[in-house]
């Protein structure tokens, strides 16, 4: 049985613990807030720590550490875990810079351990179907794309939290929409040129970065695209959608979080009989991405026990961060 530990016992850690308990054993958890660590530990019969170094020193039997801490700590916690001789499963984003991600990759290589990146939206049934179709050439040459990310994150979401801080959160593209950027890389390819405008319209004094952005992308394969994103959708999430225009067809994945096939018009082809897929992560007063962490854990176990192919490599995790970094660096002006 694979033994796991979790560092960071916030909301997403509850999801990890649930899936771990069905597939392995959660032996230890760590959080600087003792109550959070103790509560999660008590639920799953694990040992609670408030000091990460202590957990790494004392718990020698750990196979995998799930890094669920704030974004700005992902790199440090992953590297420490790898150096201590454990495989690491890192929540998104992998880091807040390409430099951090590179250091994580190096640490994994030196330790001869696996570094898994979480990209659960790849498992959404319509996303997986469109990926298969694009790779098979059913759309022909991809000409252009439109990505829309219209969510709601109110003041309560950021209240008394690391979220919204430049140091630990990093920005709206890192925390809310990195999965969407990952899908651009996965489905369309790498990005060559970027132009962007951003502004903080409704969260002044609440967050230290933008709440809205408009981005123009030129991909290395010649396709062009736009990304429109905001966390100012009134009162609730509106949609997360990706439209791809190809020589032989047009397809739109929509819904609130890329969970519905909304439109298809493809030459001599049709996507049929899609399974419903999992529900979104529900955090009470807001909803997150599709909850496909079960599939992430299934793949991790197959990789570690049966030498299966990893579904999302840490290199791809780094590419997502690289594109986000390019977008932020290209921002002409905070309007």
Domains annotated on the chain, with CATH: 3-117 (3.40.50.720), 121-289+312-334 (3.30.360.10)
pLDDT of residue 290: 53
Q: How far is CA 318 from the centre of its chain?
A: 11
Q: Are 82 and 105 in contact (CB under 8 A)?
A: no
Give the C-alpha distances (Å, rounded to integers) separating 125 from 28, 69, 121, 164, 292: 33, 28, 9, 31, 10
Q: Which parts of the chain have pLDDT scores under 70?
A: 277-291, 333-335
pLDDT of residue 234: 97
Q: Is the dihedral of CA 307, 311, 315, 317 positive or negative?
A: negative
pLDDT of residue 67: 98
Q: Are 319 and 326 in contact (CB under 8 A)?
A: no
pLDDT of residue 38: 98
pLDDT of residue 286: 47
pLDDT of residue 257: 84
């Amino acid at each position: 049985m694979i033994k796991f530990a979790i560092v960071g016992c916030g909301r997403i850690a509850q999801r990890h613990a649930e899936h771990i308990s069905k597939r392995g054993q959660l032996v230890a958890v760590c959080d600087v807030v003792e109550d959070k660590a103790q509560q999660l530990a008590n639920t799953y019969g694990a040992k609670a720590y408030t000091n990460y170094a202590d957990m790494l020193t004392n718990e020698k039997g750990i196979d995998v550490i799930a890094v669920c801490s704030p974004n700005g700590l992902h790199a440090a916690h992953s590297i420490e875990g790898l150096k201590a001789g454990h495989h690491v499963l890192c929540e998104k984003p992998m880091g807040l810079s390409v430099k951090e991600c590179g250091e994580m990759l190096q640490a994994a290589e030196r330790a001869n351990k696996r570094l898994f990146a979480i990209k659960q939206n790849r498992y959404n049934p319509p996303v997986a179907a469109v990926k298969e179709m694009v790779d098979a050439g059913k759309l022909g040459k991809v000409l252009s794309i439109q990505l829309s990310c219209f969510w709601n994150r109110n003041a309560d979401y950021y209240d008394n939290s690391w979220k919204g801080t430049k140091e630990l959160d990093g920005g709206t593209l890192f925390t809310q929409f990195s999965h969407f950027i990952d899908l651009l890389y996965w489905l369309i390819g790498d990005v060559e040129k970027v132009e962007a405008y951003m502004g903080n319209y409704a969260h002044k004094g609440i967050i230290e970065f933008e709440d809205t952005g408009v981005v123009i992308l030129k991909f290395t394969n010649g396709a062009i695209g736009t990304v429109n994103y905001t966390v100012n959708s009134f009162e609730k999430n509106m949609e997360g959608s990706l439209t791809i225009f190809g020589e032989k067809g047009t397809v739109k994945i929509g819904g609130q979080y890329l969970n519905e096939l909304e439109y298809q018009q493809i030459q001599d082809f049709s996507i049929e009989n899609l399974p419903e897929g999992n529900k979104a992560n529900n955090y009470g007063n807001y909803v997150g991405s599709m909850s496909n962490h079960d599939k992430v854990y299934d793949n991790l176990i197959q990789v570690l026990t049966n030498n299966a192919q990893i579904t999302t490599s840490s290199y791809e995790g780094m590419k997502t961060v690289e594109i986000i970094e390019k977008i932020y660096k290209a921002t002409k002006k905070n309007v």
